[in-house]
Structure 1
Amino acid sequence: MNHAPEEWGRPRNDIYGNYNPAFHNATPSAHTQQPSITGTSVLAIKYDSGVMLAADNLGSYGSLARFTDIERLIKVGEETVVGISGDVSDMQHIELVLEKLMIKDNYEQDGHRLRAPHVYEYLSRLMYNRRSKVDPLWNAILVAGRKDDGSPFLAYVDLLGVTYSAPTLGTGYGAYLAVPLLRKLVSDEGDEKNVTKDQARAALDQCMKVLFYRDARSLDKYTVACVDNTGAVSIETGVRCEDMSWRFAENIRGYGTQKM
């Protein structure tokens, strides 16, 4: 007698055809339910002649600072920069998808060039499509560049497909700690016309320092990218927070009222 489970009570081959046991080796589909290696905040601000972004280089495995050389500002095409926070493996997937998109666009050779608004619309559809499949890409994304008329472009999309635009944006912890600092410089649409490139850079440097002080999943090494109104992209890597000091914390003794 054959005691193999696949033989129990199955229909006869001469009536129903040959039995296919391959399904016993099939594995159920699995969706990522929570990120493993993650990157924290991405910050961006418009200024009078472009957009500037900053993101640190840390990849955290839970509370472990696992990788310190993760680049999360990605140049897409000739005049667009995409900053991604969240799951690093999903970020690498998005990077591969965008690379294929650029290759396909270059093959067309029709004189049309994908700019930041086009990349942003593509990513918003991609994120919403994955969310609708209950298999989201665990990322928040900032897209920076310029519009067809040369004006600065900056917009946000997250794992739910939520989209919006603002002159200052942040993801992760930076949306709570850094964006209020950036809004002191650019509080409303149009204010960026009064902000120079040097002022925008100083504001981002200050915010990255604050995040290193306050965000346990951040690093003092970061990357800064800039897209000006001509479409030129410059990316500066290996930037370090300067004049760091922890003297303010030397008298802290836990929480609540305590005798020093």
Structure 2
Amino acid sequence: MNHLPEIWGRPRNDIYGSYNPSYLKTSGPITHTSSPTVTGTSVVAVKFNGGVAIAADKLASYGSLARFTDVKRLRVFANSSVVGFGGDVSDMQYIDRLLESIDIREHYSTHGNMLNAKNLLTYLSKVFYKRRSQFNPLWNHVLVAGFDGNGAPFLSSADLLGNTFSAPHMATGFGAHLAVPILRRLFPEERPIEDITKDNAVAALQECMKVLFYRDARSLDEYSIAVITKDGVEVKEDEKVQAQSWAFAEAIRGYGAQTA
């Protein structure tokens, strides 16, 4: 082997001949990811009087395998907004780098204005739409929580097609089927946001994460939760589902060693 630093690992040309990389070339078509590989599941969020609360568990699944158990899927932007990611983890990391570059550019800009949550949603929806138009989509569904330009609590979603949707409480993944009904029961449409306190919102998210842990096979009992208010973003990374015991299953007829 040739041990010169500029060509470490290459066979010596004077002995084996010049390196021929032609085998790396292919005449086949360019391909893109047609399905995500390592994925995160639900993100759940709810508005309250004075802000937004958002939560996501820390599991990244490789198919049906619970592969990574410490993946943080909530990203804080400028201490005023939070983006929660569902879907492909590698695409989440790519979007995270995009947001980090925007954050740096905004901090060093001279105009003195920072992007709010509504601006972030617009940007992300355009990114998603551009990539799907190139037939190379980002396999994510995100929730953006924070404040709009008028200082009102803001919560909206964007999917891999670039579609956006806003509501007082939202969820991605399996949470759209399991968590949203709980939030609709706790916070019906006729109940104004002014009547929902921070403690109400956090307690509702804790209940949702508990139900998701029991019912969603791609969920975990450890999760992150963030609360966005005018004072900034408060993030707790090591929350755990309370009273998460399967002991109740022993009372179910036909479970385990029970006899009929």
Q: In structure 2, what is the equivalent of residue 66 of structure 1? A: 67
Per-residue deviation at 1:253? 4.0
- For the residue of structure 2 that corresponds to 1:201, the secondary structure is helix
CA contact (8 A) 1:223 1:235 kept: yes
Q: In structure 1, what is the equivalent of residue 80 of structure 2? A: 79
CA contact (8 A) 2:221 2:244 kept: no
Map 1:25-36; keep pairs closer than 5 Å: 25-26=25-26, 28-36=29-37
Q: In structure 1, what is the equivalent of residue 168 of structure 2? A: 167
**What's the CA shift string for 1:139-164, capped at 9, x where partnerless?**
00000001222210000010111111
Query: Counterpart amino acid of 1:131?
Result: R
Q: In structure 1, what is the equivalent of residue 238 of structure 2? A: 238
Q: In structure 2, what is the equivalent of residue 157 of structure 1? A: 158
- For the residue of structure 2 that corresponds to 1:108, the secondary structure is coil
CA contact (8 A) 1:55 1:223 kept: yes
Aligned partners of 1:34 and 1:24: how far apart in 2? 25
Query: Residues 191 and 131 from structure 1, CA distance in 2 versus in 1: closer, same or farther, beyond 3 angstroms?
Result: same
- For the residue of structure 2 that corresponds to 1:206, the secondary structure is helix
**What's the CA shift string for 1:36-77, capped at 9, x where partnerless?**
110000000000110000000001001111000000000012
- For the residue of structure 2 that corresponds to 1:96, the secondary structure is helix
Q: In structure 2, what is the equivalent of residue 41 of structure 1? A: 42
Per-residue deviation at 1:22? 7.0
RMSD between aligned alpha carbons?
Answer: 2.0
Per-residue deviation at 1:246? 1.8
CA contact (8 A) 1:167 1:189 kept: no
CA contact (8 A) 2:46 2:170 kept: yes
- For the residue of structure 2 that corresponds to 1:242, the secondary structure is coil
> Aligned residues, how many?
235
CA contact (8 A) 1:166 1:189 kept: no
Query: Residues 63 and 45 from structure 1, CA distance in 2 versus in 1: closer, same or farther, beyond 3 angstroms?
Result: same
CA contact (8 A) 1:37 1:59 kept: yes
- 1:97 paired to 2:98: yes
CA contact (8 A) 1:146 1:231 kept: no
Q: In structure 1, what is the equivalent of residue 183 of structure 2? A: 182
Query: Counterpart amino acid of 2:90?
Result: S
TM-score by length of structure 1 reads: 0.85
Of 149-158 and 25-34, more deviation after overlay is shown by 25-34
Of 23-32 and 189-198, more deviation after overlay is shown by 23-32
Query: Counterpart amino acid of 2:247?
Result: R
Largest Rg, 1 or 2: 1
Per-residue deviation at 1:186? 2.2
Aligned partners of 1:248 and 1:23: how far apart in 2? 60
Q: In structure 2, what is the equivalent of residue 110 of structure 1? A: 111
- For the residue of structure 2 that corresponds to 1:184, the secondary structure is helix
- For the residue of structure 2 that corresponds to 1:92, the secondary structure is helix
CA contact (8 A) 2:213 2:220 kept: yes
CA contact (8 A) 1:46 1:152 kept: yes
Query: Counterpart amino acid of 1:35?
Result: P
Per-residue deviation at 1:190? 6.6
- For the residue of structure 2 that corresponds to 1:69, the secondary structure is coil
Query: Residues 124 and 231 from structure 1, CA distance in 2 versus in 1: closer, same or farther, beyond 3 angstroms?
Result: farther
Q: In structure 2, what is the equivalent of residue 15 of structure 1? A: none
CA contact (8 A) 1:185 1:195 kept: no
Aligned partners of 1:189 and 1:105: how far apart in 2? 39
Per-residue deviation at 1:29? 1.9
Q: In structure 2, what is the equivalent of residue 221 of structure 1? A: 222
Aligned sequence identity (%): 49
**What's the CA shift string for 1:115-152, capped at 9, x where partnerless?**
10101100010011111111110000000001222210
Gaps of 5+ in 1: 1-20
- For the residue of structure 2 that corresponds to 1:193, the secondary structure is helix
CA contact (8 A) 2:37 2:62 kept: yes
CA contact (8 A) 1:52 1:227 kept: yes
Gaps of 5+ in 2: 1-20
Per-residue deviation at 1:30? 1.8
TM-score by length of structure 2 reads: 0.85
Q: In structure 2, what is the equivalent of residue 247 of structure 1? A: 247
CA contact (8 A) 1:225 1:235 kept: yes
